[in-house]
Structure 1
Amino acid sequence: MQYVKSGNTIALRVDYGEEILEKINEVCVKENIKTAAISGIGATKETEIGLYNMETGEYKREVYTGLYEVGSLIGNITEKDSKPYIHLHIVIGDTKKDAVHCGHLNRAVVGATSEIFITVFEHTIGRKFDEQTGINIFEF
């Protein structure tokens, strides 16, 4: 992993074999990032995606192993319990099966490289548990 900071934006490269969420968290801690927007592209070799079912309150998890192109990595960083709360969604494509998969990113190991921009927001946004939906929502 390497990154450079310019103004309120960080350009982050996550390298082969590294886990994306771990590296973003590392940058958040080093740079004291409380709130930000994230976007990125790249490739993964192991990806776990979740889809939340509001009726059951459970996440359906799927693991995709093999080389997948990241068509979109998008989300945000907020703060919960004084720690970075990284909320990302990902779209991955499998050219062999001509299939696309998307959802909440639980884990992604880079299969080539990942190029990510983190745009830092000057105000802190927290998270709170919402009884109606069963998820952690923005707390202003």
Structure 2
Amino acid sequence: MEYRKFGDTYIVRMDPGEEILTQLKVFAEQEGVKLASVTALGAVKDFTVGVFDTGAKVYKSNRFQGVYEIVSLVGTINTMNDAFYCHLHMCAADQEGHAFGGHLNEAVISATCELVVTCLPGRTDRVFSDEVGLNLISF
């Protein structure tokens, strides 16, 4: 992973074999990023995304392996109990154009991943909501 800062925005390049969430945590902790918006594109070879069942309050995860292009990756960096917290959703398409997506649990880069991380002033934290079953942004 390499990155460079331009004003309040970082351009981050991740390399083959790196895992997106792991590297994003390393980056955020090194740079002291506490609140940011994240967008990205690239290529992955192994990823797991989930869809939240609001009735059962659990995620159903799906794992995909093969040749995939990241069509969209969006989300936020903030904190939970003052520690790094990241909430990303990703959609990736196979060679036939079939797209698969959801809440990002894990994604291993096959070629590259180019991220734009826009830092925001201030902080938000996360708090678990029993009612919803998720870690919600708390102001």
* TM-based fold match above 0.5: yes
Q: How many residue pairs get matched?
A: 139
Residues in 2 aligned to 1:18 and 1:102: alpha-carbon distance in whole angstroms:
19
CA distance in 2, matches of 1:120, 1:114: 19
Superposed CA deviations along residues 85-138 of structure 1, whole A, max 9, x for unmatched, are 100000100123x31101000000001100001000110110011122110111
1:1-140 equivalence runs, <5 A: 1-96=1-96, 98-140=97-139
Distance, in Å, in 2 between the alignment partners of 1:57 and 1:113 is 34
Runs of 4+ in 1 over 2 A off after TM superposition: none
The Cα of 1:3 is off from its aligned counterpart by 0.3
Question: Once the two structures are superposed, what CA deviation does each residue of 1:5-32 show, in whole Å capped at 9, x if it has no partner?
Answer: 1111010000011001111101110011
SS of residue matched to 1:77: strand
Residues 128-137 or 31-40, more deviating = 128-137
Matched residues in 2 for 1:127 and 1:52: separation? 17
Q: Describe the SS at the equivalent of 1:22.
A: helix
Equivalent pair of 2:50/2:62 in contact (CA under 8 Å): yes
Deviation at 1:67, TM superposition (A): 1.1
Unaligned runs of 5+ in 1: none
SS at match of 2:52: strand
The residue matched to 1:68 in structure 2 has which SS? Answer: strand
| Shift, 1:84, TM fit | 1.0
Are 2:17 and 2:109, in contact at CA under 8 Å, matched by a contact in 1?
yes
Percentage of identical aligned residues: 35
Describe the superposition over 1:46-91 as per-residue Cα deviations: whole angstroms up to 9, x where unpaired: 0000111111111101000011000000000110022111000001
Q: TM-score normalised to the size of structure 2?
A: 0.97
RMSD: 0.8
Secondary structure of the residue that 2:24 maps to in structure 1?
helix
- AA in 1 matched with 2:114: E
Secondary structure (helix, strand or coil) at the match of 1:29 reads helix
- Paired residue type of 1:117: V
TM-score, scaled relative to structure 1: 0.97
